[in-house]
């Protein structure tokens, strides 16, 4: 386990399972809730609501040394060193998508991409491509069965999940052992290196089991959320060609659009990315309207009152990210995809600390948020500068929210490469180009 009192995998699994039940329960209890709400607001109704302490005393103790380690893993310096590797992984992937003769399932491919990023960049494993593919399949089997009932029967989801976890742990152990033996020739420290070093510094050398659990949790945290956001990003760029053009204009103005034969591999820098204001607005807007995770859970540490309701100590409460984004008064036309709402001129997110929460809030805010944003920015830059893509279905798919937000059909898209004039590279041209090399 990475965190005291928190197993992220089971926490997320519980979250998803609860979300399904909560959705069903909500449908039934909505009428009752509205009645109770109306009664509480009605001045003539004297419901006994004693005054409690105010504020948000929901968040637990987080003084764990691992939190300090995580601040190193996701520090500015660390992100700068991951950036060229992230760019390479994304460029490789987009090349593969573009050379695929058929449309691809974006959500599935984005899951593979984030898995690859976690394995290659975050954990620094040099697993051969074929083994990586196999590990991904096992990982998917694990994730698909995380939400199963704990009934250990042959062919049950639970049994399949346990088996997948065992195979994964074996694969991870092999990769960790190889990594521990072969420390030479590396030009950067990945998250796993930092985790191992820092645990030694804190006099708490991690056992192999802790390392395996830790790596699995890191992959789990990064995988579904970032794949969901990547898919939403691609879908919004498809839906809003003007946004994509504006993004390309910004990249052009900063000399980033790839041109005539420039390999441009691993050339992005953090300060270049932070200078791209419109890109930042686009990513923020994707995360506002298509927040991958619906909400989070807390245990009430101290009785408090919220909007006339007393919330007693010891209760489990859920805060909803999606509802917050939908109802926050700071956002004008909440349902409209409008990246400019985050522009310096409008800055709709600047009023109030808790209106915009794609990565949660408070002490338990997402630890990987800077990495996630970095990944999404690089993906957007590469999509805008090296790819053209078209929806392969007649209409855009419906969105489902469980276990994380994603299009029901995964989003079918045909990708094409771009030549130096930002035009589509047709398969024949591609064949010619490779023939001349």
- Tokens 């809003």 belong to 240
Question: Residue 285: helix, strand or coil by DSSP?
Answer: helix
Nearer to ligand HEM, 244 or 374 (CB): 374
CB of residue 363 vs ligand HEM: minimum separation in angstroms? 7
Residues in contact with ligand HEM by CB under 6 A are 3, 6, 8, 122, 218, 221-222, 225-226, 229, 292-293, 296, 358-360, 364-368, 371-372
Does the annotation flag 281 for ligand binding? no
Mark residue 16 as left, alpha or beta (left: phi above 0; alpha: psi -120 to 50; beta: remaining): alpha
- Tokens 């930042």 belong to 280
CB of residue 365 vs ligand HEM: minimum separation in angstroms? 6
Mark residue 396 as left, alpha or beta (left: phi above 0; alpha: psi -120 to 50; beta: remaining): beta
- Tokens 């005393």 belong to 57
* Contact yes or no for 313/301 (Cβ under 8 A): yes
CB of residue 114 vs ligand HEM: minimum separation in angstroms? 8
CB of residue 386 vs ligand HEM: minimum separation in angstroms? 22
Q: Tokens for 286?
A: 């994707």
CB of residue 228 vs ligand HEM: minimum separation in angstroms? 7
Nearer to ligand HEM, 118 or 418 (CB): 118
Nearer to ligand HEM, 337 or 416 (CB): 337
C-alpha separations of 435 from 100, 430, 432 in Å = 18, 8, 5
Task: Specify the length of the chain in residues.
Answer: 437
* Contact yes or no for 3/64 (Cβ under 8 A): yes
d(CA 272, CA 136): 33
CB of residue 122 vs ligand HEM: minimum separation in angstroms? 6
Report the residue number whose CB is nearest to ligand HEM: 368
Enclosing H/E stretch for 413:
strand 412-418
Nearer to ligand HEM, 8 or 132 (CB): 8
Nearer to ligand HEM, 221 or 276 (CB): 221
Nearer to ligand HEM, 8 or 104 (CB): 8
Name the binding residues: 366
Name the binding residues for heme: 366
């Amino acid at each position: 386990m990475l965190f005291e009192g928190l197993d992220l995998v089971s926490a997320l699994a519980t979250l998803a399972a609860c979300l399904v039940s909560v959705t069903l329960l909500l449908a039934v209890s909505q009428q009752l809730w509205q009645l109770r709400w109306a009664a509480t607001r009605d001045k003539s109704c004297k419901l006994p609501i004693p005054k409690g302490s105010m504020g948000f005393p929901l968040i637990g103790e987080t003084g764990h040394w691992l939190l300090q380690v995580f601040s190193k893993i996701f520090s500015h310096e660390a992100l700068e060193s991951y950036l060229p590797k992230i760019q390479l992984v994304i460029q490789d992937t987009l090349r593969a998508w573009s050379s695929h003769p058929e449309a691809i399932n974006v959500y599935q491919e984005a899951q593979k991409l984030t898995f690859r990023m976690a394995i290659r960049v975050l954990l620094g494993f040099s697993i051969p491509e074929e083994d990586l593919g196999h590990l991904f399949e096992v990982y998917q089997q694990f994730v698909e069965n995380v939400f199963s009932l704990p009934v250990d029967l042959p062919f049950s989801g639970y049994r399949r999940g346990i088996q997948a976890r065992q195979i994964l742990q074996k694969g991870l152990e092999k990769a960790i052992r190889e990594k521990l033996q072969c420390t030479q020739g590396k030009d950067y420290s990945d998250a796993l290196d930092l985790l191992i070093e820092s645990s030694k510094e804190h006099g708490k050398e991690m056992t192999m089991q802790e390392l395996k659990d830790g790596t699995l949790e890191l992959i789990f945290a990064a995988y579904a959320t970032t794949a969901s956001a990547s898919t939403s990003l691609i879908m919004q760029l498809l839906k809003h060609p003007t946004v994509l053009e504006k993004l390309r204009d910004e990249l052009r103005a900063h000399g980033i659009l790839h041109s005539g034969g420039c390999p441009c591999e691993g050339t992005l820098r953090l300060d270049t990315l932070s200078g791209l204001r419109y890109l930042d607005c686009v990513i923020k807007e994707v995360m506002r309207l298509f927040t991958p995770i619906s909400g989070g859970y807390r245990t009430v540490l101290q009785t408090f009152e919220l909007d006339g309701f007393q919330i007693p100590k010891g209760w489990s409460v859920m805060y909803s990210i999606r509802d917050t984004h939908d109802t926050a008064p700071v956002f004008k036309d909440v349902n409209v995809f409008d990246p400019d709402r985050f522009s310096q001129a409008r800055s709709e997110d600047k009023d109030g600390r808790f209106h915009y929460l794609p990565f949660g809030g408070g002490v338990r805010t997402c630890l990987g948020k800077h990495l996630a944003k970095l990944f999404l920015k690089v993906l957007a830059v590469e999509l805008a500068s090296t790819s053209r893509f078209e929806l392969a279905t007649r209409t855009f798919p419906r969105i489902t929210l469980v276990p994380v937000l994603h299009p029901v059909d995964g989003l079918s898209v045909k990708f094409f490469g771009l030549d130096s004039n930002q035009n589509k590279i047709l398969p024949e041209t591609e064949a010619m180009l490779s023939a001349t090399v």
